């Protein structure tokens, strides 16, 4: 055998040849490697889908083609984003196999109007890669596009990024704009539930960044809604960020300029605190790691203040550094760059080298002029920098003294510390435990080789309000510094010398425990931030329930897990009997319960929409017992259809009767106020205008009803049949031991099973760690094989910084607003 033949034989043995090579294109590539396009598939990536769609609407606003953006979290968990812009083009593209432009934009990578500077977008935009909207389509279970342009409404549907329903003309309209509705694919995202507050924060940010743009958000699931509109833009952004602080001067410094096609917009204001709070954006994208615009701003700020201070003879003994001038600084830096260079699709850092010089030039010129015109403000800023420099020198000496004496980091370990024997950083853990009682249980139950315990007495000092000297003098905080072995303001080198690999916060699950945990997180955020940056800080997640069944005890982590367990317990000794004599038990009953469980959410969605299941089942269900998916209002008349083809045929007949195209009733995507929209709806109703609603949850309901038919279960079994001879009818009965529970419909099945499952159990909902003995504490919260830990990260340091300021700062009003807004969201309040 030749060498070449031997080589080929060896390659075949390894199973690696040309058949293993795959070329993934477009949608398939995105679905295979979603993290490359949206960062990850966690909740962060999930919300990034909405941001990608909204960014396209913002680009329309930035280029003066739109003024209103609406975001709606629908009752079925999908999201609708709409604007009053020009609408995505729908014309045929000969060079793209004669496909409509709308289809190309939604299915092809690097397709969009951002690449054509002549007729598309002239101002720097956020979605420059042409990947975002295609990624949203690819990662969605389904997506519907509705475009208003050229006097008509056009629609197109997709399934998992692939075209399902081609471009259709729905009716006529005098409006323009784009509406995208999508539902994230549950096979890609572990959690597909959007968080209202997360979306609200980003949308408010976008409204600040784009002065005059009106952004509305509402959540059909809860009824929450907000509207953001800021005519002063960044000035109001800085005012918002400083709302928890005492400002050094009232006027907010606003810097604007343009150089070499790069637009610079910056607002600045100092407060009397010591923390720097600077947000950087390029083309509306938040650059959490800063970039060249950030470094350019810093350099110009230092140079301008230094120049004024020297000119005013304020810096006689020594000149403060840039860090000193940034103490108490709140600023928002935005640039619009024609061709930005970001680090990756998630755009965390701006890399354009030319931007640094441009920002420096603009800021230096405008700031110098401002200081000349406002010497009082300039003097306050300069003197604050001088005081910061003096305090920095004093703090430096104090830290050096602390380091030399080793008072906080070496020797003299806290008296209460129960240390571990091992000194290996990779395996050791320090538990900061609330209370001496829980500390004693943790000490007894721990693995003393690798786990150390430091009990904390009561609430530690609120470091958000305290000077460094006071922080260092606090006994509980001093004990934490000593135990961890890291000095205040620790740098990376200090962190590598810490005494334990993991720092774990373990507090009660009540109000006081949450408060102590927040205080501890504030402390680490302010004085040991590198520990958080390097992923060393964790929060223990003790179980919510202890379940006692006879002599057996087990623990359940969450409410959902507890509910599922109760159903499983009930199934072990139950059957379900239908009035026709059919009995479901064993594996068949388990499968039936799984299907009914899957129906809980979509049927609940119908309830939240205000649609009565029995009404549409009796009046509009198909012959084979399925629900119609499409609802049409023509004026005030209601019609239901099971398919788009059936609906299209009906609309065609209606237009033939009228001799004209149907007028589309516009929703909030139009450019009216909410009051105007309500008036228009009445006018549309009188004129017989067309409203079409696609009830997406009915797809899921019908799929599950098809499966349930195999068990002899039909749509009528999910609503109450009423009365017979004046008595309620109960078609189903759960037999559990000697007990029988009658059901009027199968929507009562799961709640009844949970009630049955709870009998004979003792459920204890934990509030305090002190309720657990040492063995329980080990089993539930300390055993590395069983416990659940939540790692504290810095992915959203700006958001963490703001919430600490709101909850821990001196100003009361923002805290009151926060409490009032979230009061109704509180569950299991411990009072």
Over residues 595-641, the pLDDT tens digits come to 999 998 889 888 888 889 999 999 999 888 899 998 988 888 889 99
Statement: residue 490 has pLDDT above 70: no
pLDDT of residue 795: 54
pLDDT of residue 796: 41
Extended beta strands in 465-596, E state: 502-506, 537-540, 545-549, 552-556, 574-578, 583-584
Q: pTM here?
A: 0.76
Highest mean pLDDT among 210-214, 391-395, 569-573, 654-658: 210-214
- Please compute the mean of the pLDDT values over residues 544-566 and round it to a whole number: 77
CB 85 within 8 A of CB 75: no
Q: Which of 52, 76, 434, 494 is catalytic?
A: 434
Rounded distance, CA 488 to CA 467, Å? 12
Q: Find the range with the poorest average confidence among 34-38, 281-285, 493-497, 731-735.
A: 493-497
Q: What is the CATH topology of the domain spanning 26-229?
A: Heat Shock Protein 90 (3.30.565)
Contacts of 228 (CB under 8 A, 6+ apart): 203, 204, 206, 207, 208, 214, 215, 216
CB 193 within 8 A of CB 77: yes
Give the DSSP letter string of 745-804.
Answer: SGGGHHHHHHHHHHTT-EEEE---GGGS-HHHHIIIII-TTT--EEE---TTHHHHHHHH
Statement: residue 126 has pLDDT above 90: no
Domain residue ranges in the chain: 26-229, 234-400, 406-542+770-825, 630-694
Which one has a higher pLDDT value, 459 or 830? 459
Average pLDDT of the residues of the chain: 82
Q: Which CATH architecture has domain 234-400?
A: 2-Layer Sandwich (3.30)
Encode pLDDT of 324-377 as tens digits.
Answer: 888 889 999 999 998 888 875 555 789 899 999 999 999 999 999 999 999 999
Rounded distance, CA 448 to CA 428, Å? 10
Of 714, 699, 712, the residue nearest 628 (C-alpha): 699
Q: Which of 512, 585, 681, 755 is catalytic?
A: 512
Encode pLDDT of 702-755 as tens digits.
Answer: 999 999 999 999 999 999 998 888 889 999 999 988 889 999 999 999 999 988
Contacts of 756 (CB under 8 A, 6+ apart): 569, 570, 574, 734, 736, 739, 741
Statement: residue 402 has pLDDT above 90: no
CB 528 within 8 A of CB 516: no
Residue 408: is it exposed, middle or buried by C-beta count within 10 angstroms (0-12/13-18/19+)?
buried
Say which CATH class 406-542+770-825 falls into: alpha beta
Q: Which of 429, 508, 771, 779 is catalytic?
A: 508
Rounded distance, CA 403 to CA 413, Å? 15
pLDDT of residue 395: 61
Of 78, 107, 31, 76, the residue nearest 181 (C-alpha): 78
Encode pLDDT of 35-69 as tens digits.
Answer: 888 888 999 899 999 999 999 999 898 888 999 99
Statement: residue 491 has pLDDT above 70: no
Extended beta strands in 185-325, E state: 214-219, 225-229, 253-259, 262-270, 277-282, 285-286
Statement: residue 321 has pLDDT above 70: yes
Assess whether 694 carries a catalytic annotation.
Answer: no
Please identify which residue in the block is written with the tokens 């179980």: 543
Q: Find the range with the poorest average confidence among 84-93, 392-401, 764-773.
A: 392-401
Map 19-88 to HEC letters: HHCCCCCHHHHHHHCCHHHHCCCCHHHHHHHHHHHHHHHHHHHHCCCCCEEEEEECCCCCEEEEECCCCC
- Please compute the mean of the pLDDT values over residues 69-88 and round it to a whole number: 93
Assess whether 434 carries a catalytic annotation.
Answer: yes
Residue 746: is it exposed, middle or buried by C-beta count within 10 angstroms (0-12/13-18/19+)?
buried
Residues 75-93, buried b or exposed e (16+ Cβ, 10 A)? Answer: bbbbbbbbbbbbbbbbeeb
Statement: residue 673 has pLDDT above 80: no
Assess whether 508 carries a catalytic annotation.
Answer: yes
Residue 4 banded pLDDT, cuts 50, 70, 90: low
Rounded distance, CA 54 to CA 58, Å? 6
- Please compute the mean of the pLDDT values over residues 170-195 and round it to a whole number: 92
Q: What is the largest CA-CA distance in the chain?
A: 100
Which tokens sit at 369? 């002029």
Question: CB neighbours (10 Å) of residue 261?
Answer: 14
pLDDT of residue 662: 82
CB 662 within 8 A of CB 171: yes
Which one has a higher pLDDT value, 274 or 667? 274
% of the chain residues with pLDDT over 90: 39
Assess whether 660 carries a catalytic annotation.
Answer: no
> Sign of torsion, CA 488 489 494 498?
positive
Which one has a higher pLDDT value, 274 or 769? 274
Question: CB neighbours (10 Å) of residue 444?
Answer: 15
pLDDT of residue 193: 93
Order of strands across the sheet with 732-736? Answer: 583-584, 574-578, 732-736, 739-743
What are the CB-based long-range contacts (under 8 Å, 24+) for 461-470? 461/519, 461/523, 462/519, 462/522, 462/808, 463/519, 463/522, 463/523, 463/526, 463/527, 464/522, 464/526, 464/804, 464/805, 464/808, 464/809, 465/808, 465/809, 465/810, 468/395, 468/398, 469/398
pLDDT of residue 375: 93
pLDDT of residue 808: 66
Contacts of 110 (CB under 8 A, 6+ apart): 129, 130, 131
CB 633 within 8 A of CB 667: no
pLDDT of residue 797: 43
Give the three-class secondary structure for 718. Answer: helix
Question: CB neighbours (10 Å) of residue 587?
Answer: 8
Which tokens sit at 640? 């239901």
Which tokens sit at 602? 């979509």
Q: Find the range with the poorest average confidence among 10-14, 50-54, 208-212, 649-653.
A: 10-14
pLDDT of residue 177: 94
Contacts of 7 (CB under 8 A, 6+ apart): none
Please identify which residue in the block is written with the tokens 């709870």: 758
Encode pLDDT of 768-808 as tens digits.
Answer: 676 677 887 888 889 898 888 888 876 544 455 566 677 76
Q: Which of 390, 510, 796, 801 is catalytic?
A: 510
- Please compute the mean of the pLDDT values over residues 291-307 and round it to a whole number: 94
């Amino acid at each position: 055998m030749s060498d070449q033949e031997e080589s080929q034989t060896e390659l075949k043995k390894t199973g690696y040849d040309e058949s293993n090579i795959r070329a993934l294109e477009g949608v398939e590539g995105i679905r295979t490697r979603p993290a490359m396009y949206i960062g990850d598939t966690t909740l962060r990536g999930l919300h990034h889908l909405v941001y990608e769609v909204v960014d396209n609407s913002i680009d329309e606003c930035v280029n003066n083609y739109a003024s209103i953006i609406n975001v709606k979290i629908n009752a079925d968990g999908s999201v609708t984003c709409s604007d009053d812009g020009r609408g995505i083009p729908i014309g045929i593209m000969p060079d793209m196999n004669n496909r409509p432009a709308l289809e190309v934009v939604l299915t092809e990578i690097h397709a969009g109007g951002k690449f054509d500077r002549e007729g598309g977008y002239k101002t720097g935009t956020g979605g420059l890669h042409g990947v975002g909207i295609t990624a949203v389509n690819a990662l969605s279970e389904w997506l519907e596009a509705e475009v208003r342009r050229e006097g008509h409404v056009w629609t197109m549907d997709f399934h998992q990024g692939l075209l399902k329903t081609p471009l259709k003309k729905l009716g006529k309209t005098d409006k323009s704009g784009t509406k995208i509705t999508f539902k994230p694919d549950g096979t890609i995202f572990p959690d597909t539930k959007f968080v209202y507050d997360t979306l609200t924060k980003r949308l408010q940010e976008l409204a600040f960044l784009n002065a005059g743009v009106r952004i509305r958000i509402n959540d059909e699931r809860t009824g929450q809604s907000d509207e953001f509109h800021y005519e002063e833009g960044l000035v109001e952004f800085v005012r918002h960020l400083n709302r928890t602080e005492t400002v050094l001067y009232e006027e907010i410094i606003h810097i604007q300029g343009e150089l070499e096609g790069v637009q610079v917009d910056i607002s600045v204001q100092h407060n009397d605190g010591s923390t720097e709070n600077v947000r950087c954006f390029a083309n509306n994208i938040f650059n959490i790691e800063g970039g060249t615009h950030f470094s350019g701003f810093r350099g110009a700020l230092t140079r301008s203040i230094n120049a004024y201070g020297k000119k005013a003879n304020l810096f006689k003994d020594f000149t403060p550094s840039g860090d000193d001038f940034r103490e108490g600084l709140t600023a928002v830096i935005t640039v619009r760059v024609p061709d930005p260079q970001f680090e990756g699709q998630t755009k965390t850092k701006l890399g354009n080298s030319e931007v640094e010089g441009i920002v420096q030039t603009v800021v230096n010129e405008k700031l110098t002029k401002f200081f000349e015109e406002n010497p009082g403000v300039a003097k306050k800023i300069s003197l604050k920098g001088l005081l910061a420099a003096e305090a920095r020198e004093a703090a430096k000496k104090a830290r050096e003294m602390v380091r030399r004496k080793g008072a906080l980091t070496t020797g003299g370990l806290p008296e209460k510390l129960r240390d571990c024997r091992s000194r290996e950083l990779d395996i050791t853990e320090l538990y900061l435990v609330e209370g001496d009682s829980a500390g004693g249980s943790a000490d007894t139950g721990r693995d003393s080789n690798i786990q150390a315990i430091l009990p904390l007495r009561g609430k530690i000092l609120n470091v958000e309000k305290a000077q460094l000297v006071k922080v260092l003098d606090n006994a509980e905080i001093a004990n934490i510094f000593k135990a961890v072995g890291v000095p205040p303001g620790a740098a990376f080198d200090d962190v590598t010398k810490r005494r334990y690999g993991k720092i774990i916060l373990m507090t009660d699950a009540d109000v006081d425990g949450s408060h102590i945990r927040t205080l501890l997180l504030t402390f680490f955020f302010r004085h040991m931030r590198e520990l958080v940056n390097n992923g060393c800080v964790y929060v223990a997640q003790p179980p919510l329930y202890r379940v006692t069944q006879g002599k057996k005890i087990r623990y359940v982590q969450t409410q959902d897990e507890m509910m599922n367990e109760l159903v499983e317990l009930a199934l072990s000794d139950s059957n379900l009997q239908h009035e026709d004599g059919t009995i479901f038990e064993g594996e068949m009953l388990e499968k039936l319960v799984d299907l009914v469980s899957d129906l809980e959410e979509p049927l609940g969605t119908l309830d939240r929409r205000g649609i009565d299941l029995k009404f549409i089942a009796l009046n509009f269900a198909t012959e084979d017992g399925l629900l119609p998916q499409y609802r049409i209002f023509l004026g005030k008349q209601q019609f239901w259809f099971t398919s788009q083809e059936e609906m299209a045929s009906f609309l065609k007949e209606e237009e033939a009767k009228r001799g004209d195209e149907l007028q589309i009733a516009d929703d909030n995507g139009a450019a009216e106020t909410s009051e105007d929209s309500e008036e228009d709806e009445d006018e549309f109703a009188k004129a017989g205008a067309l409203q079409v609603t696609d009830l997406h949850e009915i797809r899921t309901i019908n799929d599950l009803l098809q499966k349930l038919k195999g068990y002899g279960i039909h749509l009528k079994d999910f609503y109450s049949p009423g009365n017979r001879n004046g008595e309620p009818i109960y078609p189903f009965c759960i037999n559990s031991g000697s007990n029988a529970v009658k059901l009027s419909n199968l929507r009562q099945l799961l709640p009844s099973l949970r009630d049955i499952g709870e009998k004979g159990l003792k459920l204890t909902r934990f509030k305090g760690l002190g309720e657990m003995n040492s063995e329980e504490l080990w089993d539930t919260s300390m055993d590395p094989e069983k416990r659940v830990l939540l790692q504290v990260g810095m992915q959203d340091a700006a958001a963490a910084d703001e919430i600490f300021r709101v909850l821990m700062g001196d100003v009361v009003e923002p805290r009151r607003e926060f409490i009032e807004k979230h009061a109704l969201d509180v569950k299991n309040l411990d009072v």
